Amino acid sequence: MTATHDRDDWPTTGWSSAPPAGLGLDEDALAEADCRIQADLVGVHSLVVVRHKAIGFERYYGGCDARTRFDVRSVTKSVVATLVGIAVGDGLLSLSQNLGELLPDRLPRDGDERLGAITIEHLLTMTAGFAWDDLADWGRLWASDDWLATTLRTPLAADPGHRFTYNSGCSHLLSTIVTRVTGKTLAAFASGRLFGPLGMSPAPWPQDPHGYSIGGLGLEFRVRDLAKLGLLYLHGGRWAGVQLVPAAYVAASTTGQSAGGDPEEAAYGYHWWVTSAAGDAAYFAAGYGGQYVYVVPARDLVVVTTARWQLPPAETLELHPLIEDIVLAAAQVEGPAQSTHVSPPSA
């Protein structure tokens, strides 16, 4: 059974906190996770566990604190997908619209004829069909003076809709498209329709050489702001009584739309990874190097980690076992705990 708890004390400008036991969290298991991070996972910067809209556990490492903004890498993609959903809810986009309709002036005249058939949904599910290696091609994109043209000139290796390939270029195409249909940069659109309502305060969103907000990565958030993104999805796109993102879109985003694969080896929705944790359905936003926003609806649980993403690939942190243990530490207990209101610094 999924706990919904439609209380109005949303943490837009402040948070509630409660002892772990009061939220049905195993204090010994959380203490063990804390010790494991300090002893073995020295690249971890933060661990925050939220249940029933209250912070039950919050630790920072390596000189970081609640005011620190972290480079969340590809968690940016899940934010981009959220903004696509808002544009869909506004009637400015539909999932079936394709590049032939949305970017007719930018499609290469000598390009693959299948290019125009790529839809918004194909971009969201990373099934556009481009022949793309994200590590190698991200460098190619970064070095380009026209990111849109560089992405659209990438050859197609499969028909749209048939093969999952993780692709930051798809995310940047979505940023460009939302900018076109709203008449605002993605950063400006997000400020009014997502970051503002949730009380999130990211660092300025980086842009490509043509002024489009970078779709594949680049956002920097405080950990509590990442937890708000998880809470928004946990409650079906609804925040403080307002439906910010269509509920049907949130449900589709967090349902496996393809088998997914590398780099997380999980199913893939709309720029969210779909999996299970401790036997319960779960989904997560993921960024290179250990940035995670993990949501487990049946346990009314959001787990957030950030880590030093600059670690060499061989040392990149594998935090899924740690998160799995934290999910196990959350008993399937329904009903919100009694909590006390606290005002976090610059929350």
CATH number assigned to the domain comprising residue 328: 3.40.710.10
Residues 95 and 33 in one domain: no
Rounded distance, CA 23 to CA 333, Å?
8
Is residue 173 within 8 A of residue 202, CB to CB? The reply is: no
Residues 100 and 55 in one domain: no
Residues 308 and 229 in one domain: yes
Q: Where is the domain boundary, 182, 203, 229? A: 182
Residue 275 resides in a domain: yes
Residues 19 and 110 in one domain: no
CA atoms within 13 A on the CB side of 258: 24
In the chain the beta strands, taken as DSSP E runs, fall at 15-17, 44-51, 54-60, 70-71, 220-221, 238-239, 242-243, 258-261, 266-268, 273-277, 280-287, 291-296, 301-307, 340-342
Residues 20 and 37 in one domain: yes
Strands 273-277 and 280-287: antiparallel
Residue 193 backbone phi and psi in degrees, to 5:
-110, -10
Closest CA to 287 of 201, 196, 227, 220: 220
Residue 144 resides in a domain: yes
CA atoms within 13 A on the CB side of 57: 28
CA 18 remoteness from chain centre: 26
Rounded distance, CA 323 to CA 306, Å?
12
- Residues lower than pLDDT 70 in the chain: 1-9, 312-316, 332-347
Using alpha carbons only, give the angle 347, 50, 259 rounded to the nearest 5 degrees: 110
Rounded distance, CA 170 to CA 271, Å?
10
Residues 69 and 81 in one domain: no
Residues 256 and 164 in one domain: no
Using alpha carbons only, give the angle 229, 329, 337 rounded to the nearest 5 degrees: 65
Residue 345 backbone phi and psi in degrees, to 5:
-65, 125
Residues 83 and 174 in one domain: yes
Residue 5 resides in a domain: no
Q: How far apart are the first and last CA of the chain?
A: 31
Residues 239 and 337 in one domain: yes
List b or e across 183-204, with b for residues whose CB sees 16 or more CB atoms inside 10 angstroms. Answer: ebbbbebbeebbbebbbbebee
Supply the pLDDT for residue 14: 84
**What percent of the chain is predicted at pLDDT more than 70?**
91
Residue 133 resides in a domain: yes
Domain coverage including residue 88: 77-182
pLDDT in tens, 34-54: 999 999 998 999 999 999 999
Supply the pLDDT for residue 314: 63
Residue 195 resides in a domain: no
Residues 326 and 241 in one domain: yes
Closest CA to 265 of 137, 138, 164, 172: 164
Supply the pLDDT for residue 208: 97
Domains of the chain: total: 2
Is residue 246 within 8 A of residue 85, CB to CB? The reply is: yes
Is residue 263 within 8 A of residue 166, CB to CB? The reply is: yes
Residues 294 and 228 in one domain: yes
DSSP string, 157-211: SS-TTS-----HHHHHHHHHHHHHHHSS-HHHHHIIIIIHHHT--PPPPPB-TTS
pLDDT in tens, 223-253: 999 999 999 999 999 999 999 999 999 999 9
Residue 116 resides in a domain: yes
Rounded distance, CA 208 to CA 270, Å?
23
pTM across the whole model: 0.92
Residue 202 resides in a domain: no
Residues 228 and 120 in one domain: no
